[in-house]
Amino acid sequence: METATGFGGAEGDSGHARGLALLLELTEALCALGCTDDPQGRVQFAAVLGDQLGRTVDLRGVKQREDVVTLVRAALNVAGGERVLVTVVRLLEGPLAGDELDRLITPGRPAGPDAPPGPLGSDDEAAARAVLARGELPAGRLRDDLAEELNGLDLPSGLLPEQLFLHVLAWNTQPDGLPPAVLLLDRAAPLAATRGHRTALTDWVDDWVKRAGLPRELERRRQARAHVVQDPDIPRALIVAVEPARDGSDDVVVRPWLNTAPGRWDPQPGAPAVTTLDALGPAVDDALRQGARMWTGPGDPGSGGRGQPSAYVEFVLPYDLLNHDVASLTYRVGDGRPLPLGLKYGVHLRSLERMRTDDALVRHQWQERWHALRRHGVGVHGWSEPDARRLDAWQATLAGDTRHTAVVLDAPAHDPAMEALKAAIAEGIGLAVWDRRGAFPEERREVVTAVFAAVPRPGQIPLAIHRLRQNAELNQQGPGRLLGRHIGFFWDDPTRVVDMHTNDPGESAGEEAPA
């Protein structure tokens, strides 16, 4: 049985022509999706589609286009199957790809009171898309810049520049009369890799606002941008929250966020996954690859340079995992050998319990102690084995003097060092250093003291620790070699939080397939 959008029936030749055109359009659209790139992905697509259609969809798994035609025909040969096809695309590729496919199968409605035209005409739209396509643009950075331009309006992550343009194309103008689509091109211009592309983007925007009578409004926005001060201590970063499933299994729930633009904090959540602690490395590697697609772009600050990490990886961990050697997890580029994470990326630790808490006093002390660190610098409150007999007094000293802005202690692998770290976190400490192997001898603590003293301001401590780790891997000698390989570095900034309540770990564990 063929559907009304299929290949014949009562509508005769015209219906057949429309069905053939739809088959072609859907085939082109599906061939462009990542979920159909490889045979395994297409087999998975066929299995999900077949389950929803109530019939088996068999693929040869040899040529992409041949398999995709089979998938589309299977959907169109069932009444309502085209809607099922859209649902499967939403499931495997995401809602935006599903929306694009839905537009292909939904007949366009004429413009009217309930379907107003967008601010750009068809000629302007075509010209804008042509200008965007002239060169590469950093998609993640463009998305962040446009969100800032639109006063923090939520925009989807992971879209290519042209997809983002289409996403905002029909949006209404801003109060000053400028459409988001025009502002997208204006924000894209400084991000272009070549002078010719930058000039083309700027010329298109200038021409459009001139014809629209809005050059002054655009100039005001450009001047306002020039006065925006970015925070040099906010990096591009991957934030990875790891929490044991605590269901008797070895599973851990991993939830990533990406802060794609240095200078401001706007982390975007990724999809949670369930894996094991032993397989945490590949999960982090996958998230880094996603980040690399979003944050790589010409002219981005903080990228490149000897000793300069391309990004930071912040592990938000429960107390019992804070001594886990996450800096030695490996990443891999192409067919090269696996390398330790700390060689390329700045790696530090954060507290899961404190990030999640709703206790106002805990958050106040955290912010107060961090403010003291930023304003007065590092004041170390040391802890070592003899302090185990006077933990209450040690915490009281910390609580009574906010000039103590950091702790240096033995490895929090067991009590009582763990109790000391918990007490420090409760008192608002956001900077802590230890030797993961156990006791922290005085001569190694002196290396940490030297690192603290060498930085002009506390915000550069993560970079100094990264260089210590990097030198340990590259030089294999010097006084900081052993410490660089085994240092535990806790850097927990209360001004850079993520929403830990977006997904309940139990629900994530139940919904996600093990990685």
Tokens of 186: 């204006």
Per-residue b or e along 101-112, where b marks 16 or more CB atoms closer than 10 Å to that residue's CB: bbeebeeeeeee
Delimit the domains of the chain by residue range: 18-105, 122-227, 284-298+320-491
Rounded CA separation 469/490 (Å):
14
Could you tell me which of 4, 129, 23, 9 has the C-alpha nearest to residue 69? 23
**Separation of alpha carbons 73 and 67, rounded Å:** 10
Q: Which helix (H) or strand (E) holds 183?
A: helix 180-188
Q: From 242, 289, 232, 288, select the one nearest 265 (Cα to Cα).
A: 232
- Name the DSSP letter for residue 230: P
Report residue 8 as tokens.
Answer: 């014949």
Neighbours of 340 (CB within 10 A): 20
Give the H or E element holding residue 341. helix 341-344
In angstroms, the Cα distances linking 485 to 59, 321, 327, 455, 470 are 50, 18, 9, 20, 9
Instruction: Please report, for the chain, how many H helices and E strands are present, in that order.
Output: 21, 12
Residue 193 phi/psi, 5° resolution? -80, -25
| Nearest alpha carbon to residue 35 among 86, 90, 93, 77 | 93
Query: CA 90, CA 77: separation in Å to the nearest integer?
Result: 20
Bridging pattern class, strands 312-317 and 237-244: parallel
Q: How do the pLDDT tens digits run along the chain, 515 residues long? A: 334 344 334 444 444 556 677 888 899 899 989 899 888 888 889 888 887 777 788 888 888 998 999 999 888 887 677 888 988 888 888 888 888 888 887 654 333 344 345 688 889 999 999 999 999 898 888 988 898 898 877 777 767 898 889 888 888 888 899 999 999 999 999 999 899 999 999 999 999 999 999 999 999 999 988 877 778 888 889 999 999 988 888 899 999 998 887 888 888 888 788 999 999 998 898 888 877 766 654 434 444 445 568 789 999 999 999 999 999 998 888 788 888 999 889 999 999 999 999 999 999 999 999 999 999 999 999 998 888 889 999 999 999 998 999 999 999 988 889 999 999 999 999 999 999 999 898 888 998 999 999 999 999 999 999 999 988 888 765 544 567 889 999 999 999 999 876 444 444 333 443 33
Q: What is the pTM of this model?
A: 0.64
The CA-atom distances, in angstroms, between 80 and each of 2, 5, 18, 26, 58 are 10, 9, 16, 15, 20
